Homo-oligomer: A and B are copies of this chain.
Amino acid sequence: MNKADQSPTGLEHMLCYDLYAANHAFGRIYKPLLAPLGLTYPQYLAMLTLWAAAPLSVGEIGRRLGLDSNTLTPMLKRLEGMGLVQRRRDGADERRVSVDLTEAGRAQEAQAAHVPGCAAAATGLSMAELLALQLQLRKLRGALKPD
């Protein structure tokens, strides 16, 4: 067996490492784009979710992002502290907390409109390549049991 090609422990042949590294590299691209907005990368994803369909319960947001309340509750409180969202118990079901955008939160959508394009440009890949990658990732995620 040829070791150079088949090393079972070399990072260079592990998909998990490529995914890990690519995700971090992508985060590094977004950071400077989001800094002027005062948002972290995960906070940006939460705002994207709300811009698309606010108001949403904590659980709904979590379902879309793959996160649980142990991660979301503190993050949403921070967004509330920034004045971007408002949290309140749902009247119909007091167990739920409904999260809605404030005026300022809604206004941020326009200010963030340029971000996806800038990020795509920073990857240096063509639209076709980006699309192909996205399809593969979605296929992977679809294959991993949705719990």
Chain A residues close to B by CB (< 8 Å): 4, 7-11, 14-26, 28-30, 41, 45, 48-49, 51-52, 64-66, 109, 112-113, 116, 119-120, 122-125, 129-130, 132-134, 136-141, 143-144
Identify which of B15, B41, B65 contacts A120 (C-beta below 8 A): B15
Beyond A133-B140, A140-B22, whether A45 also contacts B17 by CB under 8 A is yes
* Main SS class of interface, A: helix
A60 to chain B, nearest CB (A): 12
Beyond A19-B26, A144-B123, whether A8 also contacts B116 by CB under 8 A is yes
Identify which of B11, B23, B139 contacts A129 (C-beta below 8 A): B139
A125 to chain B, nearest CB (A): 6
Q: Which residue of chain B has its CB nearest to the CB of A122?
A: B144
Q: Is the CB of A140 within 8 A of B125?
A: yes
Q: Is the CB of A21 within 8 A of B141?
A: yes
Residues of B within 8 Å of A140, CB to CB, are: 22, 25-26, 123, 125, 133
Beyond A23-B20, A144-B26, whether A48 also contacts B133 by CB under 8 A is no
A56 to chain B, nearest CB (A): 12
Q: Is the CB of B116 within 8 A of A48?
A: no
Residues of B within 8 Å of A18, CB to CB, are: 134, 137-138, 141
